[in-house]
Amino acid sequence: MTMVRLLSASAVLLLVINCGAFAQPNLQIPGERFEMGSIPQQSVVSHCFWFTSTGTDTLIINEIKTPCGCQVEPLEKNWIAPGDSMLVSICWDVKKRVGPTGNYPYIYTNVGPETFRVYLTGTVTREPDAIRPVSVKPFALDLSKFRERAVDSLSFRIINHSDTSYTLTPVSFFVDECDIILPDSVAARSTAIGTIKVRPEFLDKEFYRSITLLLNDTRKTRITIPIKRKIY
């Protein structure tokens, strides 16, 4: 009986050691490719990706490196337990680019030599007022603070230049710093009004964000609206 118990205990110990030896981290990023549509030139836009730890060991994020040197928001933490997820924000300064372009950050983890990537793409235009069938004015929402004068809220117009009414669906809307009211649709040859207001706890914070709207036209048009708050 004693020998049987010893053998059973040894088998359990061996199983635990083997499980530990084969525990591996892994990363999955659902929707790792995001199309931003039309982007105004000389603006900073952003999108959040869900990083999911799908391995059997803790995922460590060693570094997120963008080829263009764009900003990555500080991570909530640099590790994700198996089965958990974390939202990661990537900011993209499109600068003076014009036309179709993209930003493809590298993600270095403890998974091994393999690197992961996310993909932000869009078409940068130097004439945002000429975007069709719908344009936004102002094309960038500047909520900056200049000494005693601060722009804490503003209204913006969504202008439909066509003879067809469109619904507006937010497909990227990670703006914790502001309260935003968007119209659900914009009628043909009409204008709809949206509003944005900085939340009180962020009045003394700087941030770059954006929202991306999807139209229900045949081309599935997307328009990205930059949001900025600088304190001068």
> Is the pLDDT confidence value at 4 over 70?
no
Beta bridge partners of 230: none
pTM of the entire predicted model: 0.88
Q: Does residue 47 have a pLDDT over 80?
A: yes
Q: Is the pLDDT of residue 50 over 90?
A: yes
Q: Output the average pLDDT for the chain.
A: 90
Q: Which residue has the higher pLDDT, 114 or 88?
A: 88
pLDDT surpassing 70 at residue 53: yes
What percent of the chain has a predicted confidence (pLDDT) above 90?
Answer: 82
- State how far the Cα of 33 lies from the Cα of 168, in Å rounded to an integer: 21
| Mean pLDDT score, 153-177 | 97
3 state DSSP class of 152: coil
